[in-house]
Structure 1
Amino acid sequence: MTPSETDTRTPGDPGSADDGGDRPRRRFRLPAPPLWLLGLLEAVQALLATALLVALPVLAVGLAGGFTRIDLEFVARFSAQVWLILHGTPAELAVPVPGDVLGEGVTLAEGWLHLLPMGLTLVPLALGWRAGGRLARGAWSDQLWQGLLALVVVYAGVGVGIAHLGQAEGFTAQLHWAALCAAGVMAVGALAGSYAEARSWARLIGVDLEDRVERLSQRLKWAGSYLWGVLRGGLIAVVAAVGLSAVLLAVQLGSSWMEIANTYQQLDPGVWGVIGLTLLHLGLLPNMVLWTLSYTTGAGFALGTGTTVAPQAVELGPVPALPVLGALPSGAGEGFLAVLAVPLLAGIIAGWWLMREGENHLDDWFALRISWRPISLTLSTLVLGLLTGVVAAGVAVLPLWLSHISLGIGRLTDIGPHALLAAGLLGAWVCVGTILGYLIAPAAHSARRRRSAEDPAEPGESPDGTEE
């Protein structure tokens, strides 16, 4: 018997240790809770974590004198509004504008607030990932949906309650949008965590997709492997483009650190103001990386209605007094070609990977039907580049759209990239880069093999440079 197992019998009972009975011992074990209950408990844990993440800083800033008023009702309402923004819930703003601005009394300027600080949204996504993994560990393959459904539905219901709590004069959040946004964030995190834990669609949904693929004909298998390779190639291109854009943003921030520091000093927001601005910058950091990606495609991004920040043109009006905006380029033409090389290099990386992967079965199909190799290779490579570019554009369009910001007032309703234009240009650059990378890879491999043959290892050493 292990220490965790409890014998429920008392001394003297039949089969107990003191009467020498040889009957099997009875062991008390708690029954496993149903999956819907586990999903409910995970939703409550995620709610408490996100609520504390929002309410504690708001309370700390209020106690330090950061707000004009501080009471329990204000902290609860403002925390609810921040929670909604954290999950990307749109809200309708109504801000009073004095008569000296519009010329006739005090009116209300109305607009939609849509702000998704992706850096902070990673917190509920991570909690959803954790919940999905825990549910996958405790579920049969055909029952996981019960826990996931309870998790998402309860979290969405909580979002409706928080939206009701956050209603105030000048801030109106639609209840159905609150439910959909909360459910979407939690569902994405939970599904990703479940798959990461299950490592198999058979364990995740109870259907063995690998077995079904094996039943297909050989031609369908080749077509499937080709398309799967193209999908992964497009995803690799997007990941590479985002990573290179993050490096470019880091270089720009590092070279503009003096302007950023001067803006902090001019604002003089105090200790809590500095902390708040820094947290805002960190929350918007993924958004700014995606804006940089749009900038590298040539589409650029806006910092207000009628403004443009692009490699070929920079047209800015009055911008918000945010320190990070000190890193904006001062004019057009600064490193124009180097900036545009970012998505092209991402496509070259994808093309190189596709050549190394060796799943271009369309090239084999063309080679069997066109005897002249240059024509068949050209056609198959063009199709491969075009499909990879389409996949890259399709993958990038949603993150680019989510990175767009509307503060709901005046010119500040258009901040960020034009998602369709930026994704389309990214797809075009990736298409060209994939073609170049796919054609360059064999030549580079042959050149490396020739160098290895012309420069043999020294006597007494193996080809990898180690002593024999």
Structure 2
Amino acid sequence: MTRAVVAFLAAFEAVITAAIGLGVALAPLTLVWAVQYHMATSWAVFWRASADAWLLGLGVDAHVDLDRLTALSLGLPGAVPPFTVTIAGLGVALFTVLMGARIGRRAAETPYVLTGGIAAVASFTAVTSIVALTAQAKVFGPAVVQAPLVAAATFGAGILLGIGMDWAANRDHVPPLLAHAFGAETRMVVGSSLRAATGAVALLVAASGLFVAILLFAHFGRAVALYEGLQAGFLGGITLTLAQLAFLPNAVLWAMSWLIGPGFALGGGGAVAPGAGLDSGLPGVPLLAIVPAHSPTAAYVAIAIPVAAGAASGFLSHRILKKSTPPFDTPLDLVLVAAGAAVFGGGVLALLAWWSGGTLAPGVLADLGPSTWKTGVFGGLELGAGLAIGLAIGHWRGQAHDWTPLRREEPAPEKSAALATDNDFVTAGD
């Protein structure tokens, strides 16, 4: 493919990604406009609501200015002064990053990877800026200046992830810039640390998702009762469900912080962590049915899950290290990999914690999400301990397999020759 074709295809896929993200919110709201309101009101109101939801999901802040009567009717007495919504529904951001990774990986298969990445990010940023300009309203409006920056950062992260995945799949390919800047041993330490940290964080996030699924199943009746109490109707229920699905990745990351130990904040209700409880009730949102009112101190045993995730990643990473040429399996090598992976893993966990939190409204919803530094520090230590254990087990296992018992002493040459002669004589006699 030529450079122009690569740029066009990347830009086209970026526009499609934005259209799908907008359509997920716009389709049900358009149904509400057509069925419930009989097209009597302006469709632009529902367009702005869809655009606001999409931009909030990407991480763009929104400014809210409610009058006193509206604030009191929503149960937000502290919302009379203007405030800013800073929390992102990471379902939208996750979809955007994954689509960006797909585009980046496809661009990396061509000689024009830089052209494809720049074209995709520029197109997605342009669409985001146009949507932000059309979503402005007196009561609620996204930050127009922030929108292109956040869009470029979110979609660009996906593009870089896809390019990195393509390079990781082709291990013989080393970018010339990295080859000249760092030696082979340094690249091995950094690459192995990144691989081990990525595996450990991925296992921990998967375990957190399973934990949330179990809680949803266990508290399904309570969630249904909250749905019935809201009396949102069929279309309202669909809209509410889609909104909660957008925040489901946030719930998974908050559960991850709970498993690590620091837990997460729920505004004025206090911290939700092992050995801690809420000081007040929660809003009647069905997804919050999984939040326990209090957790016993014995729940701190849950920190074994991050350690186990690190151990599994370390054990699997050791198999790759041992098969490398030359083998990268000395105790010093493994210590460097474990330390580097702990630092990288802690940094990723801190970034995820920061990304999942924010402010939704003044009062009880003013401070939501886990602590960035606590999640990063404690998570890095726990993953690092598990990685050290996994690498050590892999090393000892390899040493045990390399050891072979002494073979039985082979017969002397004279004896072997005599045995061969006897065998020939027996064969001839037969």
The partner residue of 2:207 within 239, 244, 255 is 244
1:221 corresponds to: 184
Task: Name the aligned partner's letter for residue 93 of structure 1.
Answer: V
The SS at the match of 2:63 is: strand
SS at match of 1:109: coil
State the number of aligned residues.
397
How far the C-alpha of 1:409 sits from its partner, in A, is 2.6
- Contact kept, 8 Å, 2:71 with 2:79, in 1: the verdict is no
Cα deviation, residue 134, structure 1? 5.3
Distance 1:223 1:134 in 2: 28
Say if 1:159 and 1:182, in contact at 8 Å, map to a contact too: yes
1:234-383 matched pairs, under 5 angstroms: 234-305=197-268, 307-333=270-296, 335-358=298-321, 364=330
Return closer, same or farther for 1:113/1:61 CA change in 2, 3 Å cut-off. same
Closer, same or farther in 2 for the Cα pair 1:61/1:115, shift >3 Å? Answer: farther
* Paired residue secondary structure (1:260): helix
SS at match of 2:67: strand
Supply the RMSD in Å over aligned alpha carbons: 3.8
Does residue 45 of structure 1 match 2:16?
Answer: yes
Kept in 2, the 8 Å contact 1:110–1:409? The answer is no
- The yes-or-no answer on 1:407 pairing with 2:360 is yes
Cα distance change on mapping 1:107 and 1:355 into 2, 3 Å = closer
Distance 1:405 1:155, change over 3 A: same
Inter-CA distance 95–318: structure 2 relative to 1 (3 Å threshold): farther
**Corresponding residue SS for 1:278:** helix
Q: What are the Cα deviations for residues 110-140 of structure 1, in whole angstroms up to 9, with x where unaligned?
A: 2211232222333333443454455556x5x
- In structure 2, which of residues 65, 74, 98 is the aligned counterpart of residue 94 of structure 1? 65
* Number of the residue aligned with 1:163: 132
Inter-partner Cα distance in structure 2 for 1:363 and 1:150 = 42
Paired residue for 2:29? Answer: 58
Cα distance in structure 1, aligned partners of 2:394 and 2:108: 41
- Structure 2 unmatched ranges of 5 or more: 404-430
Change over 3 Å in CA distance of 1:267–1:232 after alignment to 2: same
Give the letter for the 1:414 counterpart. D
Could you list the per-position Cα deviations for residues 191-215 of structure 1 after superposition, in whole angstroms to 9, with x for gaps in the alignment?
A: 4445556778999xxxx63667778
- Aligned amino acid, residue 411 of structure 1: V
Distance (Å, rounded) in 2 between the aligned partners of 1:402 and 1:430: 20
Structure 1 distance, partners of 2:264, 2:342, is: 21
Change (3 A) 1:66 1:190: farther
CA distance in 1, matches of 2:23, 2:300: 47
Q: Classify 1:45/1:365 alpha carbon distance in 2 versus 1 (closer, same or farther; 3 Å).
A: closer
- SS of the equivalent of 1:302 reads strand
> Which shifted more, 387-396 or 41-50?
41-50
Could you tell me the TM-score, scaled by structure 2's length? 0.79
Whether the aligned pair in 1 keeps the contact of 2:87 and 2:357 (CA below 8 Å) is yes
SS class of match (2:360): coil
Q: Within the alignment, does 1:145 sit opposite 2:117 as a pair? A: no
CA contact (8 A) 1:109 1:409 kept: no
What letter is aligned with 1:79? Answer: S
Q: Is the 8 A contact 2:197 2:344 kept in 1?
A: yes
In proportion to residue count, which structure has more helix?
Answer: 2
Tell me the residue number matched to 1:128: 100
Contact 1:110-1:408 within 8 A present in 2 as well: no
**Aligned residue for 2:51?**
80
The equivalent of 1:387 in structure 2 is 340
Distance 1:107 1:357 in 2: 55
Paired residues of 2:329 and 2:395 also in contact (CA < 8 A) = no
- Partner of 2:283, secondary structure, is coil
Partner letter of residue 154 of structure 2?
A: V
* 1:168 alignment partner, SS class: coil
Deviation at 1:177, TM superposition (A): 0.6
In 1: Cα distance, 2:70 partner to 2:227 partner: 31
TM-score norm. by structure 1 comes to: 0.73
**Could you say what secondary structure the match of 1:209 adopts?**
coil
Q: Distance in 1 between matches of 2:334 and 2:107?
A: 44
Alpha-carbon distance in 2 for matches of 1:106, 1:196: 46
Alignment map for 1:18-29 (pairs within 5 Å): none
Whether contact under 8 Å (1:95, 1:110) holds in the other structure is yes
The range that moved more, 275-284 or 352-361, is 352-361
Alignment-mate amino acid for residue 164 of structure 1: L
User: What amino acid maps onto 2:358 in structure 1?
Assistant: I
Cα offset for 1:310? 0.2
Answer yes or no: is the 8 Å Cα contact 2:60–2:150 preserved in 1.
Answer: yes
Change in 2 beyond 3 A, CA 1:66/1:390: farther
Deviation at 1:41, TM superposition (A): 3.5
Q: Is 1:209–2:174 an aligned residue pair?
A: yes
Distance in 2 (CA, whole Å) between partners of 1:399 and 1:73 is 34
Please identify, of 122-131 and 402-411, the stretch whose mean Cα deviation from structure 2 is larger: 122-131
How far the C-alpha of 1:242 sits from its partner, in A, is 1.1
